[in-house]
Chain A
Amino acid sequence: MLPTEDTIVAVASPAGRAARGIVRVDGAATPAILRALTGEVPDERGVRRARLRLRGWEAHDLSMACLVLRARAGRSYTGGESAELILPGNPHLLRRIVDDALSVSTPERIVRGALPGEFTARAMLAGRMTSEQAEGVQALVSAGNAHEHALARSLLDGSTGDRYRAVADELAVLLALVESGIDFTDEEDVVPIAPAELCARLGKLDVEMVSLLGPGSRATVDESPVRMALVGAPNAGKSTLFNALLGRERAIVSEQAGTTRDVIAEALPRDPMMPHAPAIELLDLAGLDAGSASDGRAHGAAQLAARDAIGAADAIVWCDPSGQFDDAKVAHLVAERPAMVLRVRTKADLVAPQDTGEMLAVCALDGWRMDALHRALCDAATTVRGYSTPLAPGSLVSRHRAALQEAQRCVREAMELINPAREAHSIELVASSLRLALDRIGEIAGRIEPDDIIGRIFATFCIGK
């Protein structure tokens, strides 16, 4: 963790072009940065219009309208002096603003770029939010899709926390009942919980934890882009499709088959309609053919590189203008890969366009159905990353998931220990498992102390001779 006295600055809007961009500043140098950027420092919190003047613009008498959202210490997200500048989402412009803000830094008053999550960490350190909510923010920022987005919101509004606490509470009640049978056996009034009832109530807890964890828990959060290779016979229109998807001329397109020799990789711009889909890296490959000696070594190398790229891709976009998808060379490569395959009928302007369940007909030249293709790619990427199985709230944040899984393991262990089929059971071991389960849940729901357990016993039974 870097010093919290520093002023931090960062672009706070998603990367890439967007209608609006946000630069966030937090720390004591906030007023100085605002003065440098806009020539004025609003001292009231709230939104103000301002004119942005960047270094070097003076000569050209340039300025740009922007909004300044100012928050004073104690009332801001992070608890400190902070501001947000809202302006057109031009990445270059945003970078320039950050650079200008950084130039305000002095040895006494350091201004530096923010680390990922540092604004939220500051908010947490300032007591503006619980760690659970901070994790919600983090999950929200990195949510892979709309469903995860909703789950992240449930962390933020505390409804998931309520479920954790309900589990912890029931565990505490059960532990108190078990403990009463250990610490107060010499008390006539104490009736320890019957194994069958304990088992039944633990079973209910297990069900709730299963529901919190969900069936398809993400083992690890893979944030790397999903690699999608455009595959097809030479001259299948892959490069045209590639350029159309990127929205610029990246690959050389030619009527001459086999123009593309190298593997070209580019990030697919995010679909504004699917902001939480995983990032996608598109690979444009050489067309696959049987190859012949006359094509030369360069061609052979291109073929090898293409095959390697297919081997490493997460998904394959099989392009075929004929719509037959029976090219044996491609089919062979595709078949031996477990990767997801999308069939795209390219050059659909050449024939009567028709869509079937298995393929998507597009025309890259006039952009026909390109938006549908874009969305299909995002869906495929989401599926590849395993986000498609509905995630449960407890599985979203790895710390929560680990705590829940361990607690669940302990609860199941306790159930196994009191299994009526066993001849005898060690009640202190049952208690040990339940205590551990409670400690684990406590890491996300708030710790329940032995004193609380003892208090519950006193509240339930007449203790004391």
Chain B
Amino acid sequence: MLAGGDGGARAVLFWSAMSGVVREFDVVVVGGGHAGAEAAWACANIADAGAGLRVGLVTLDPEKIGAMSCNPAVGGLAKGQMVREVDALGGLMGLATDATGIMFKTLNATRGPAVRSPRAQCDRHAYAREVQRLLRSREAITIIGASVERICTEARGGRRVVRGVVLKSVDAAWDGVEVRARAVVLTTGTFMRGLMHRGDAQTEGGREGEGPARGISGALREMGFELGRLKTGTPPRLRRGSLDWDGLDEDGGEVAPTPFSEMTERGAFPVLEQVSCRVTRTTEAGHALIRENLHRAPMYTGQIESVGPRYCPSIEDKVVRFADRSSHHVFLEPESHESDWVYCNGIATSLPVDVQERLVHSMPGCERAEVVQWGYAVEYDMVRPHQIDATGMTKLVDGLFLAGQINGTSGYEEAAGQGVVAGVNAARWAMGEALVTLGREQAYIGVMMDDLVTKTPVEPYRMFTSRAEHRLILRADNAADRLTELGRAWGLVSDARWALLERRRAELERVDVLVESARCADGAWLRDAVRRPGYEAADLARDLALRPGVDVMWGVLETVHAERAYEGYIRRQHAEIRRHSSMERRAIPDGFDFARIEGLRSETKRNLSRFRPATIGQASRLEGVNPTDITVLLVAMQRSGAAG
């Protein structure tokens, strides 16, 4: 896939005879959430690597860039691995998290290294500010406070190609301006026709206190995109001073946490003062209250028709679906040093205000709690993700990329991962370079992109480690080993980061040699001991007498340990990958006519035509496509001379 452009154009201001002011960029990113920020950042990295791209970041309110709409937490199971991957690809989420985290914790710490994940709670205000600071520090990025009224496209060579966007803004310098770009990345989050629900009250908007994005849905629909609607929700926030904080059980973070970013200086980490959370619970009285008021819950009155995530149910959902339980944990998480807001993790709800208040007061320690923001559910439009490729580019419009919740995902980390992919490819498209993808065996991000383009989402998509068939390889500890070289080739990785990887590689080799020839305290060979269950990286440090950060680079022992502990299994996973590789990456020609394949069931034809898989691997993962169908498809490709 090649773009038409030749790249390198600088932002130019000139008058168009037809439509007033025209500004020109190489890439325009619409939306300043976690996907948009990451996409713009990736383009800036590529610009600095010599491409000289200009990136416009269009967002409704520049002060809200990097906002954490829900829980101010980053990472977690599988998500933590994705943040590490974003970081390995030169991304900003890890940097911002390390700089603003107020509680760090490794989840699954007692389990094996492949399923351990870092998680951080961030200072919501500091985080957004840090993301804004980082973006403003990049010369290539121009931040524009505006909404997108129209997406401009033109026909070129039988294809529809994006030309730019038309803005609407309170800032006269941008109002009505047509921003031209060879690539446009849409990251609209929950703002496309966002509709918030609380009891029978409905408010248009994508986030508390902010309006919706109205124009884009219609524009996309006009272009022929199939839209869907999803729902997500958020719990009430409480004032910390109104809680019996000290009377509740404490849930603290790690004393010596591991940062997310390879670039973070250990000596100065963590940066902010660390906090701890509190744990309370819902009660039988609270559940009874919810049951009595179900007829006022938008989820149950039919007011909300779209589907919410099963893994993040509202409290009314939990009470209905798991009726036998009389209590659920609720984590009270401080949101910031700059405010006394506490996030109520566990009671996302769209019940009316009076019910929310009584529910909160029914929880121990919250009897006199002051609610500073009520919970709500939000419905928003998404573009059904079978309409993008694993590159993030839409199949309908060349140069138009989608990332984040617009693709039906949930979570900051999922958004960031897509932001990197869409950002890289938007830049490459603008430069006329071939688009790139990540495989399922390379990264969680690759697993996610593949899932998005092969599955029909029934709920907002969230990453789990069990989605990754090569989980033992896709670990948090080796993200840099997996991706930084690729990131370097794509222009994402700075010299400093590259130097770190080179040093790390030498260290991995050195320690590996040491392990081969050393014995541990009980006289056994270290190379055998390292495979014992319960033997940890810390034991390796002891047995090799290496102090992390002093005698050996941080993170090296973890990787040596994991690679050795999993050795046979990793070898088997690599064998599996090889076994499937020829089919996995075999390309199906662009525009291949699935409907005309003889001998396919009509349901299969429909699915293939709808998803238009780019590879045999993708085709084989489509719903309702069985191995026989793949054989038929291969025969058809061979007949048309396209089996390559």
Contacts and interface: CB of A to CB of B under 8 A. Distances in A.
Interface of A: 1, 3-4, 79, 124-127, 130-131, 179, 182-186, 188-189, 422-429, 431-432, 435-436, 439, 443, 446-447, 449-451, 453-455, 458, 462-465
Most buried by B among A188, A422, A428: A428
A179 B466 contact: yes
A291 to B, nearest CB: 59
Contacts of A184: 77
B306 interface: no
A429 B78 contact: no
Given A446-B626, A463-B310, A422 B533 contact: yes
Interface of B is mostly: loop
Contacts of B572: 436
Nearest to B533: A424
Nearest to B632: A125
A428 B533 CA distance: 12
A3 B638 CA distance: 10
A435 B469 contact: yes
B328 A188 contact: yes
Contact of A428 (B107, B310, B472, B635): B472
Contacts of B78: 183
Nearest 8 pairs of A and B residues by beta carbon: A424-B533, A462-B322, A465-B346, A179-B466, A458-B310, A424-B534, A126-B599, A125-B599
Contact of B628 (A131, A188, A426, A455): A131
Interface stretch (B202-210, B311-319, B588-596): B311-319
29 contacts: A130-B626, A130-B628, A182-B77, A182-B111, A183-B77, A183-B464, A183-B465, A185-B77, A186-B76, A186-B107, A188-B329, A189-B322, A189-B325, A425-B533, A427-B111, A435-B469, A436-B576, A439-B469, A446-B626, A451-B467, A454-B464, A454-B467, A464-B310, A464-B313, A464-B348, A465-B312, A465-B328, A465-B329, A465-B346
A373 to B, nearest CB: 46
A202 B488 CA distance: 46
B127 to A, nearest CB: 20
A427 B113 CA distance: 11
Contacts of B569: 429, 432
Contacts of B322: 189, 462
A166 B197 CA distance: 44
B471 interface: yes
B566 to A, nearest CB: 7
A125 B635 contact: yes
Nearest to B78: A183
Most buried by A among B112, B309, B321: B112
A331 to B, nearest CB: 53
Contact of B465 (A124, A182, A426, A464): A182
A98 B107 CA distance: 71
Contacts of B556: none
B601 interface: yes
Nearest to A123: B599
Contact of B599 (A127, A435, A458): A127
Interface in B581-622: 598-601, 621
Given A182-B108, A463-B311, A127 B628 contact: yes
Contacts of A432: 471-472, 569, 573
Contacts, number: 129
Contacts of B466: 179, 182-183, 431, 450, 453-454
B530 interface: no
Contacts of A439: 469
A222 B115 CA distance: 47
A185 B106 CA distance: 12
Contacts of B465: 182-183
B558 to A, nearest CB: 15
A423 B533 CA distance: 8
A182 B472 CA distance: 13
Most buried by A among B311, B321, B600, B639: B311
Most buried by A among B76, B329, B348, B601: B329
A443 B627 contact: yes
B235 to A, nearest CB: 9
A214 to B, nearest CB: 24
Contact of A462 (B112, B321, B627, B628): B321
Contact of A4 (B451, B472, B598, B601): B598
A405 B254 CA distance: 45
Contacts of A130: 626, 628
Nearest to A451: B455
Interface of B: 76-78, 107-108, 111-112, 114-115, 309-313, 318, 321-322, 325, 328-331, 345-346, 348, 451, 455, 464-469, 471-472, 533-534, 565-566, 569, 572-573, 576, 598-601, 621, 626-628, 631-632, 635, 639
Contacts of B631: 124-125, 131
Contact of A465 (B331, B469, B626, B635): B331
Most buried by A among B310, B330, B600: B310
Nearest to A130: B628
Contacts of B77: 182-186
A182 B114 CA distance: 10
Contacts of A446: 626
B630 to A, nearest CB: 10
Most buried by B among A185, A188, A426, A455: A426
A179 B599 CA distance: 38
A78 B487 CA distance: 51
Most buried by A among B77, B312, B466, B467: B466
B566 A429 contact: yes
A299 B631 CA distance: 59
Contacts of A425: 533
A185 B455 contact: no
Given A182-B111, A432-B472, A426 B599 contact: no
A69 to B, nearest CB: 22
A79 B599 contact: yes
Contacts of B111: 182, 185, 426-428
B579 to A, nearest CB: 10
Given A427-B112, A458-B310, 14 more contacts: A125-B632, A126-B598, A131-B626, A182-B111, A182-B465, A185-B77, A186-B107, A189-B325, A454-B464, A454-B467, A462-B313, A462-B321, A464-B311, A465-B345
A416 B260 CA distance: 35
B311 to A, nearest CB: 5
A294 B288 CA distance: 113
Contacts of B115: 182-183, 427-428
A454 B328 CA distance: 21
Contacts of A183: 77-78, 115, 464-466
A424 B325 CA distance: 32
Contacts of B534: 423-424
A453 B471 CA distance: 15
A430 B486 CA distance: 31
Nearest to B451: A451
Nearest to A183: B464
Nearest to A182: B115
Contacts of B469: 435, 439, 450
Nearest to B576: A436
A185 B116 CA distance: 11
Contacts of A463: 310-311, 313
B601 A462 contact: no
B635 A185 contact: no
B599 A464 contact: no
Contacts of A427: 111-112, 115
Contact of B330 (A131, A428, A449, A465): A465
Contact of A185 (B107, B310, B598): B107
A424 B464 CA distance: 24
Contacts of B321: 462
A228 B198 CA distance: 87
Nearest to A462: B322
A273 to B, nearest CB: 37
B279 to A, nearest CB: 10
